[in-house]
Amino acid sequence: MSKVGKYSRGVSIIGVGCTPFTNTLKNPETMGLTESELFGYAAIESMEDAGINPGMIQAYFHGQGNAVQSSDHSSANVQVNDWFGTRGLGSYAHSEACCTGYAALDLAVQAVASGKYDFVLTGGVEMGLDNFVPGMPAHFRKPFTTAEFAARVSTVYDRAYTRHFAAGPFMQYDDYIDQYIKENGLTPEQIDEVLNVLAVTFRRNAANNPLGYRRETFETLAEKAGFDNVLDYMKSPDYNPMLSQYLRKQSMEARADGAAACVVCPTELAYQFKQTPIEVIGVGNCVLDAIHPHMETRATKIAVDQAYAFAGITAEDVDLLLCQDFFLSSALLGAEVSGYIPEGQGWKYILDGRVEINGDKPLNTNGGRCHFGHAHAASGLADVYEAVKQMRGQAGTNQMKKIPKTTMLRGFGGGQNICVEILRTAE
């Protein structure tokens, strides 16, 4: 693990914004919206949440996973600045695949911690379910099929070796679970039960979240389908078929359209605004190509250790973990590798209900990528939104009874990018 220095000054989140994660083409209220408008909505909400106006913003960052292929534009930051009052400001566009939203916060914090800026807005947007129409204005969109999406996923992997050794996403699906059940003496049937219970838990969280994409619980869907037991429904090949050795349909990401944003400033200035400041006290990063064995486990460990050292805390200090899980087993991996749940015990915690919102180890209180939805570059900042709302006591139906003081976010994207961030309520 490489050692990193400390920030020159503390930096806190003072405002957050997030659109619903949705299918814009199937929703009359959103049909015809562009990426720029979605980004603008999230950006304006984050400024309103902070109680500031656009004139106070000095710079902004724009994250989008694949702007050229999904939106037919490069320099994506230029496309949005007229939508939220930041024309002429310095800005950068960036892409770290599905880790983009987590990196977006890191970049903004560094910009303020350096002393160059006092107020920075950072956001991410993705229209994961639809695509641009060649030669037409931006509000013309067409469906983005699963087959087209699968073909594009390979572009995040190294062209020289990784793609051609089949070390891309499909190898990652079962890598951790296969290792996990062997190390912990579990059977495929047992881990199937664990993942189904976790899916039911996360879907319940998403269904209770007004911004979530999947809004019906599995209990409701099971009853409609004539099942008396929700786990029988979850094991049904008709409703939840196996898509890999261990993962079922409902253990895979729910692609969505959406945007999220936040505003950061020096902690010393944050107290003058209307919301409780949420300080970013630690960040850890690791980039490791997917061709490396057990890449996600190794990279998560490196980034987590760096974040803990940066923040000066341990896993015992974390009250809430939000873990990027575009396949469900990734949440279990993040929880155990980070030390949030003891190694080898995660499966028991899940079955015992301890990762539920009011359990002692709440996990993905917004439902995560498989159920809240995955608008690739926006997802990390949607997790920031959830963390901040929980830490302020503003999460509504999904509010944890014990308001978290310290939250960890484990971002993962593209099969190589890991970003871990630790947030703490400013004193």
C-alpha span between 412 and 327 (Å, rounded): 11
Q: What is the pLDDT of residues 176-232, one digit of tens each?
A: 999 999 999 999 999 999 999 999 999 999 999 999 999 999 999 999 999 999 999
Q: What are the E-state strand segments in 270-343?
A: 278-287, 320-323
What DSSP assignment string belongs to 1-57?
Answer: -------SS-EEEEEEEEPPPB-GGG-TTTTT--HHHHHHHHHHHHHHHHT--GGG-
Least-confidence region, from 49-53, 186-190, 415-419: 415-419
Average pLDDT over residues 388-395: 98
11-154+254-270 is a CATH 3.40.50.170 domain: no
H/E stretch holding 311: helix 295-311
What local confidence, expressed as pLDDT, does residue 175 receive? 85
Model-level pTM greater than 0.85? Answer: yes
Domain boundaries, the chain: 11-154+254-270
Burial of 224 (0-12, 13-18, 19+ CB in 10 A): exposed
Q: Residue 171 has what pLDDT?
A: 58
Does position 366 have pLDDT exceeding 60, yes or no?
Answer: yes
d(CA 63, CA 23): 20
* The one-letter amino acid at 184: N
Instruction: Give the pLDDT confidence of 84-122 residue by residue, as tens digits.
Output: 999 999 999 999 999 999 999 999 999 999 999 999 999
| Rounded Cα gap, residues 14 and 277, in angstroms | 5
Average pLDDT in the chain: 94
Distance CA 381, CA 324 (A): 11
pLDDT tens string 139-192: 999 998 888 887 777 777 777 776 666 555 555 678 899 999 999 999 999 999
Contact assessment for residue 77 and residue 93, using Cβ atoms and an 8 Å cutoff: yes
Cα distance between residue 422 and residue 325, in whole Å: 18
What does residue 89 show for φ and ψ, rounded to 5 degrees? Answer: -75, 155
Say if residues 357 and 205 touch (Cβ distance below 8 Å): yes
**pLDDT at 166 (0 to 100):** 58
415 band by pLDDT with thresholds 50, 70 and 90: low
Distance, in Å, from the CA atom of 196 to the CA atom of 316, rounded to the nearest integer, reads 27
What confidence category does residue 276 fall into, taking pLDDT thresholds of 50, 70 and 90? very high
Contacts of 70 (CB under 8 A, 6+ apart): 64, 126, 127, 128, 131, 132, 144
With bands split at pLDDT 50, 70 and 90, how would you rate the model's confidence at 67?
Answer: confident
